């Protein structure tokens, strides 16, 4: 019986044809023209806001590039990844939505899929590095004394190498990039898992190293930070003003990082769930109209971060000005004495 079941599973995998190999045109839109136009306008707005916001973050950071701290260097790298997604990827999908079909062929599809996966993976691994930095900075105070700028640049090299490796692995024959079921966008070929055991191994490796493991590190880091902050709030209250101000600024940086990670995961987890179901669930069981919503939500992730920077930056300015005023009062009182 087991032999018959395994033979049935093998034959079903061999008989399975993903949507892009079936008779119909894989690049023709499966949505209505009105839905494509709405999606095109949505992505246009997201693309403009993301480009302007992340471009502004990079421009302002470049004006004080020699004064950037390691955590801020990582934040700039995140803005570079988000800008890359907006500039390199979004024009392809916007044009295709307005054209009611993918107009760039298989080469354009693979390039678009690679770029989206490359910058998306770079964003998540950057946030993983930021969460570890925050965890070590808050929970292991001695870490901050030896961390230098060149350590941040070494981390950036590792991040870009990691993203390049996993985004390029599909071109080595173990995976591929393919059109989405709705036809006007491209992504990692999740449907390989339906066709062979090798495809399943590839998809599981991608899920672990490019989603589950980084997310677990992020969650672990911020849970430990929250527990540490709760236990040390009373201790900080006994320190002098300068230490209190420094602690406030560190916590503001940590809140920025937590909000960025939360926004990224909220935007991408629905898409990840749909992708995993496409890979390991019943073949072609995800409705086409349903699959487009998580895709559009994931494409909006690059827009959130500049908004978070600006909201928290106002509080940063208040903290800095408050700290400066306190120090000025102390200095003036000393002089008068």
pLDDT beneath 50, residues of the chain? 1-12, 236-240, 316-337
Q: CB-side exposure of 27: number of CA atoms within 13 Å?
A: 15
Structure tokens at 324: 């400066």
In a domain, 227, yes or no: yes
Cβ distance 138 to 229 under 8 Å? yes
Q: Rounded distance, CA 312 to CA 115, Å? A: 30
Residue 250's CB is within 10 A of a number of other CB atoms, namely: 15
Number of domains observed in the structure of the chain: 1
Q: Residue 112 belongs to what H/E stretch?
A: helix 105-139
Domain housing 61: 33-232+242-314
Q: Residue 201 belongs to what H/E stretch?
A: helix 197-207
In a domain, 114, yes or no: yes
CA 51 to chain centre: 16
Cβ distance 275 to 210 under 8 Å? no
Q: Is 57 exposed, middle or buried (0-12, 13-18, 19+ CB in 10 A)?
A: buried
In a domain, 282, yes or no: yes
Domain holding 206: CATH number?
1.20.1070.10
Q: Which of helix, strand or coil describes residue 28?
A: strand
In a domain, 150, yes or no: yes
Distances (CA, A) of 146 to 10, 149, 246: 55, 10, 17
- Residue 126 is predicted with a pLDDT of 92
In a domain, 184, yes or no: yes
Q: Rounded distance, CA 140 to CA 115, Å? A: 36
- Residue 12 is predicted with a pLDDT of 45
In a domain, 321, yes or no: no
- Residue 250 is predicted with a pLDDT of 67
In a domain, 320, yes or no: no
pTM: 0.83
In a domain, 20, yes or no: no
Q: What are the b/e assignments for 179-196, b being 16+ CB within 10 Å? A: bbbbbbbbbbbbbbbbbe
Q: Residue 94 belongs to what H/E stretch?
A: helix 90-99
Distances (CA, A) of 120 to 3, 58, 163, 198, 291: 42, 18, 8, 24, 19
Give the length of the chain: 337
- Residue 11 is predicted with a pLDDT of 45
Q: Rounded distance, CA 206 to CA 278, Å? A: 14
Q: Rounded distance, CA 292 to CA 194, Å? A: 20
From 205, 199, 211, select the one nearest 280 (Cα to Cα).
Answer: 199
pLDDT digits (tens, 9 = 90+) for 205-242: 999 999 999 999 998 988 888 888 777 655 544 444 55
């Amino acid at each position: 019986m087991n032999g018959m079941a395994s033979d049935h599973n093998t034959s079903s995998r061999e008989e399975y044809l993903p949507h892009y190999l079936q008779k119909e045109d894989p690049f023709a839109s499966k949505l209505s023209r009105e839905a494509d136009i709405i999606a095109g306008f949505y992505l246009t707005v997201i693309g403009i806001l993301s480009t302007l916001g992340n471009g502004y973050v990079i421009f302002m950071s470049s004006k004080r590039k020699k004064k950037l701290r390691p955590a801020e260097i990582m934040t700039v790298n995140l803005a570079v990844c988000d800008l890359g997604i907006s500039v390199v990827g979004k024009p392809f999908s916007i044009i295709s939505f307005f054209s009611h079909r993918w107009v760039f062929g298989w080469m354009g599809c693979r390039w678009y899929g690679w770029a989206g996966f490359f910058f998306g993976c770079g964003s998540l691994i950057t946030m993983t590095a930021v969460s570890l930095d925050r965890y070590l900075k808050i929970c292991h105070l001695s870490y901050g004394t030896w961390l230098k700028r060149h350590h941040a640049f070494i981390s950036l090299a590792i991040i870009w190498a990691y993203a390049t490796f996993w985004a390029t692995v599909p071109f080595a024959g173990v995976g591929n990039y393919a059109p989405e079921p709705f036809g006007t966008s491209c992504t990692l070929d999740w449907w390989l898992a339906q066709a062979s055991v090798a495809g399943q191994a590839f998809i599981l490796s991608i899920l672990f190293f490019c989603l589950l493991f980084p997310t677990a590190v992020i969650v672990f880091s911020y849970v430990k930070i929250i527990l540490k902050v709760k236990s040390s709030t009373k201790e900080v209250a006994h320190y002098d003003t300068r230490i209190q101000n420094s602690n406030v600024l560190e916590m503001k940086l940590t809140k920025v990082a937590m909000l960025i990670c939360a926004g990224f995961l909220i935007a991408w987890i629905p898409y990840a769930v749909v992708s995993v179901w496409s890979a390991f669930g019943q073949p072609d069981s995800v409705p086409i109209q349903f699959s487009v919503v998580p895709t559009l939500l994931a494409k909006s992730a690059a827009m959130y971060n500049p908004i978070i920077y600006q909201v928290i930056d106002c509080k940063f300015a208040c903290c800095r000005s408050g700290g400066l005023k306190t120090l000025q009062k102390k200095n003036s009182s000393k002089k008068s004495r």
